[in-house]
Amino acid sequence: MGRVGLGLAVGCAAVSCAIAGVLVGRRMRNRRKWARVLELLSDFDEGCSTSAARLRQVVDAMAVEMHAGLASDGGSKLKMLLTFVHRLPDGNEKGTYYALDLGGTNFRVLRVQLGGRRSTVIRHQVERQPIPQHLMISTSEELFDFIAMTLKQFVDREDDDINRELVRSRELGFTFSFPVKQTSVTSGTLIKWTKGFAIEDAVGKDVSQCLEEAMTKRGLDMRVAALVNDTVGTLAVGHYHDEDTVAAVIIGTGTNACYVERTDAIIKCQGLLTNSGGMVVNMEWGNFWSSHLPRTSYDVELDDESLNRSDQARF
């Protein structure tokens, strides 16, 4: 082999060694990264693991808090809010229904036509509308005026067939997924904002009234026929499809649950009776879980990031 050939061979060998070194290095780094991933997963699993004995303690604690919350307001980590919903859809509903869903940085308006046979939805229309960030920290009048304006635009685009079907003012189901103290099935006062909202003048106000005033201002002939949160709405849909459904759970930005309770077990009802003998209770159980389940460093980081985003939205 000549000098040139020898030089090429040595050069190729050097390049091959360099490439091999890079590949080996990458593999070692990947192995170290993978080992770190496994370590983090193991740490996460250990931090979140809950023994059967601990779960039984949580169940017992929840039962105690539920009874306390049904007995009086403010005496439990579970708010056990009355919804005044004592009758759920059974699948025989017919006609066109409207709904407004406000529970985060977007809200939805929808129209559904039911055919009267269980699980029969003839047609439905849904529109999603983002809420401008400045309205999340402005005034209740500005927020609900924006919502009413969007709702009116949606209603104005109705099909002629639906218009002919409607012979009375439209009724609206209002899903408002923030803590509310219900005063009736159609009304309730806002307890506090969550999910980045910080409209101070709305706290303590009847949110249905705020919406109805905004709709009247926009010339929209519509009234709130039911005020519920997303958990109660989920229960209603479940019961529409299956009458054995008696509870619903939400796991999303937050978590919550509701269920059908006997009215005679709700001591704070003060003798309030219903035709069905039951009422849907909104548990508002987020605070309960935060105080009874393990809290890891990941929870702390997530909460801190959520607070930072909330502050950025506010300012």
Residues serving a catalytic function are: 108, 177, 230
Q: What is the amino acid identity at position 106? A: N
Residue 181 φ then ψ, to 5°:
-95, 105
* Residues facing residue 181 across a β-bridge: 189
**Considering only CA atoms, which of 128, 107, 141, 112 is closest in space to residue 211?**
141
125-150: b (≥16 Cβ within 10 Å) or e? eeeebebeeebbbbebeebbbbbbbb
Task: Yes or no: say if 112 and 89 are a contact pair by the CB < 8 Å rule.
Answer: no
Residue with tokens 């389940």: 293
Three-state helix/strand/coil letters over 75-133: CCCCCCEECCCCCCCCCCCEEEEEEEEECCCEEEEEEEEEECCCCCEEEEEEEEEECCH
Between CA 19 and CA 21, with CA 20 as vertex, the angle to 5 degrees is 90
Report the alpha-carbon distance of residue 85 to residue 185 in Å, rounded. 6
Q: 95 near 195, Cβ under 8 Å?
A: no
Structure-token pair, residue 197: 């909202």
Return the closest-CA partner of residue 126 out of 135, 113, 144: 113
**Pairing between β-strand 81-82 and β-strand 255-262 as defined by DSSP bridges:** unpaired
